[in-house]
Amino acid sequence: MITMKLIKQQYNNFTPKKKIRLRLNQNKVHKETKEIIHRLHLQSLRKPANLMISIIQPLLWLLLFGALFQNAPIYLLEQYKIQYREFLNPGIIIFTGFNSSINAGLPLMFDREFGFLNKILISPISNKNSMLYSSIIHTWLIATTQIILILLITMLQKNNNIRININEIIINISITTIIISNIATISICNALILPGHIEFIALTTLLINLPTLFASTALAPLSFMPTWLQMICCMNPLTYAIEIIRNQSLNKPTVITETIIDTKWLTINTQEAILILVLLNILSITVTKQIIKYKYD
């Protein structure tokens, strides 16, 4: 007994420290996320038609809707008289990120149906959340490319020459990043819950995509809507993102305490809108992580 205690005390010094183990796990998660992102990039490059359509689609929205109401002035605020094209641009930017991120879970759904997800899960992957991180980053890269292209075109339309406004680009990308992360996480959650890609496409295309577009301020201001539709729009997180970007494009420089939503029953400024978007993002990521842990850990 004494000998066993001495041996146990002797080998206690060989216990690895927690900091070293955590650092190794963190590095491994980064490597796993990088490899899954590379796999998603290869899937996109092998389908160039889908990639080109996803880039061209928001440009068509911008050009067609802008041309349709080109001669219709719209009084968004009393001190502004702007063309509809200028009013529409923030909505197009946000819905470009929305359309890209709403289908973020589709590759994961096809992996489930074709059995590739099982191969990923039985591989020596240390953290299943790498699938979530990689899908969000992959979606963000594609959507950001689209958004930068739209911003360059809108700058060209305003000034007939491209003048790069760094602050405007940073604000637009920052707000759309929150939306992309939030919607992509919800899409991945749907991909893990729904039985197949038919249900997934039906849910995203029919029940989420168009109703979310019309139940926001992308196409019309709140003052044009009846009260019941205003209430629905104020429950839509995309409304806050659109109004933040729209307020920034009309009021330069942006004031963090400036009111962006002003109705009889609700008043929200830029700071509160950003806080709402961040809290919703944290909530969706937390719920999706718990689903991944419940189903696959």
Q: How far apart are CA 50 and CA 47, in angstroms?
A: 6
Q: How large a percentage of the chain has pLDDT more than 70?
A: 77
DSSP string, 222-289: GGGS-HHHHHHHHT-HHHHHHHHHHHHHHSSSPPTT-EEEE-SS-EEEHHHHHHHHHHHHHHHHHHHH
Is the separation of the CB atoms in 282 and 187 below 8 Å?
A: no
The segments of the chain whose pLDDT lies below 70 read 1-27, 58, 62, 66, 69-81, 124-126, 157-165, 251-255, 296-297
Question: Considering only CA atoms, which of 178, 209, 230, 251 is closest in space to residue 95?
Answer: 209
One-letter amino acid of 138: H
Q: Model confidence over 62-113: pLDDT tens digits? A: 677 767 766 666 655 545 567 777 778 888 888 888 888 888 888 888 888 7
Q: What are the boundaries of each domain within the chain?
A: 31-296
Residues in the chain, total:
297
Entry pTM: 0.79
| pLDDT the model gives residue 25 | 60
pLDDT tens-digit series, residues 30-42: 777 777 778 887 8
pLDDT at 142: 86
pLDDT at 279: 92
pLDDT at residue 20 in the model: 46
Crossing angle between the packed helical segments 237-250 and 166-193, to the nearest 10 degrees: 170
Does the bond joining 253 to the residue before it have cis omega, within 30 degrees of 0? yes
Tell me the C-alpha distance between 39 and 34, whole Å. Answer: 9
Quote the pLDDT of residue 19.
47
Phi-psi region of 115 (alpha: psi -120 to 50; beta: other; left: phi over 0): left
Contact 183, 98 (CB under 8 A): yes
